[in-house]
Amino acid sequence: MAAEQLRYRPTVRTATPWALGVLLVAAALALQTQLYTGQARTVTAIFMYVALALSWNLIGGYTGYASFGQVVFFGIGGYFTAVAMTHLGWSFWVALVASGLFAACYGALVGIPLLRLRGHYFAIATLGMAEGTREIVTNLPELTGGGGGITLPTVGAAATTPYLGNDGFYVLFLALAAIALLVTGVISRSKFGFALRAIHQDEDAAAAIGINTTRTKVVTFALSGFLAGMVGSAYAFQQVTIYPERLFDVEITVLMVVMVVIGGSGTVIGPVIGAVALQFVSEWLRQNYTDIHTLLLGGIIILAVILLPQGLANYVREARRTGEYSLLANVRRYRL
């Protein structure tokens, strides 16, 4: 009897997160029918940032390599889709997957040299990579439209795929967020995920126990790029006309990082919490404190990082284990 209970409990613990994930997706689909147009667009943006934050979390949270150029995959995905639909006449659905694969290949290509760097050297190098890629896109006007932007064919005879509209993009970005969550959940519980954590803790020790750290980091960087590239592809189709300054805006990377840090890096649910909370608070402040919403949001972010430096998900996990829920004690624990 005791043996059966021991087998039952791990099964319940394993199945519970997946069941909660399915319920979250079902709840999001049900919520769509209750939202006005403006509210639906806000929630769609939240889904987009959930997927982006989860993509950054793979390389920045689990592996410990803080990429400040993650937006490059978002931009490449968007521009690949724009070029494929405009010049090649591809369907959006084909371009969506192809954009993710192209971004993954780009991530693997640049990751081989860049991932030999560590710490702030890697962070600065990835920022330079993103800015350099933006300049390349800007200086190819015949292909990308250059600084004047490029418009995707969404209406008329040239349209290869009908425009999805608010409801369609709501479901699309929800699906991308669900895919990113699924990928993160699978990796988190796999040997590959333990290898990423080992690299984060001590890369030299990880290599000493037989982990191919270079290959593991490159694969993670490519997978992170694949997810961000598909999100960029969907965003380009949603916006119709895109510009290099927007798709390669470093602010997008900053938002990913902040969302992961607030929610809890190196966790599955942390980036989701961070993305939802930050986007909701930002939108509420924008509507109610139009003139100073950016200042207030910055203050809230600073306060959250001071009180919860390990992120909300990690704080809750530690508090449940130790029974200590005091935020002041948490600040003292991390010596801030």
List, for residues 214-263, the tens digit of each pLDDT value: 999 999 999 999 999 999 999 999 999 999 999 999 989 999 999 999 99
Which three-class secondary structure state does DSSP give residue 88? coil
Residue 70 covered by a domain: yes
Residue 105 covered by a domain: yes
Q: What is the pLDDT of residue 154?
A: 87
Q: What is the pLDDT of residue 13?
A: 60
Mean of pLDDT values over 55-61:
94
Q: 14 with 162, same domain? A: no
Residue 289 covered by a domain: no
| Percent of the chain predicted with pLDDT > 70 | 94
pLDDT range class, residue 143, cuts 50, 70, 90:
very high
Q: 237 with 172, same domain? A: yes
Residue 313 covered by a domain: no
pLDDT at 122 over 60: yes
Residue 275 covered by a domain: no
CA distances from 114 to 69, 107, 110, 118, 229 (A): 11, 10, 6, 9, 19
Domain boundary among 249, 268, 298: 249
Residue 270 covered by a domain: no
H helical segments located in the chain: 2-32, 37-56, 71-87, 92-114, 119-138, 141-144, 165-188, 191-201, 203-208, 213-239, 244-247, 250-263, 270-288, 293-307, 312-322, 327-333
Q: What is the pLDDT of residue 163?
A: 92
Q: 70 with 159, same domain? A: yes
Q: 4 with 105, same domain? A: no
Q: What is the pLDDT of residue 275?
A: 92
How many other CB atoms are there within 10 angstroms of residue 292's CB atom? 11
Mean of pLDDT values over 202-210:
92
User: Are the C-beta atoms of 235 and 177 separated by less than 8 Å?
Assistant: no
Mean of pLDDT values over 105-132:
92
Q: 23 with 100, same domain? A: no
pLDDT at 8 over 60: no
**What's the distance, Cα to Cα, between the start and end of the chain in Å?**
49
How many structural domains compose the chain? 2
How far apart, in whole angstroms, are the C-alpha atoms of residue 101 and residue 279?
A: 28
Phi/psi-derived region of residue 111, left when phi > 0, alpha when psi is between -120 and 50, beta in every other case: alpha
How far apart, in whole angstroms, are the C-alpha atoms of residue 64 and residue 109?
A: 20
Q: 120 with 190, same domain? A: yes
Task: Give the pLDDT confidence of 156-178 residue by residue, as tens digits.
Answer: 777 889 999 889 999 999 999 99
pLDDT range class, residue 335, cuts 50, 70, 90:
low
Q: 195 with 127, same domain? A: yes
Residue 23 covered by a domain: yes
How far apart, in whole angstroms, are the C-alpha atoms of residue 333 and residue 336?
A: 8
Q: 12 with 96, same domain? A: no
- Report the mean per-residue pLDDT for the chain: 89
Mean of pLDDT values over 111-138:
92
Q: Which domain holds residue 178?
A: 37-249
Residue 284 covered by a domain: no
Q: 101 with 19, same domain? A: no
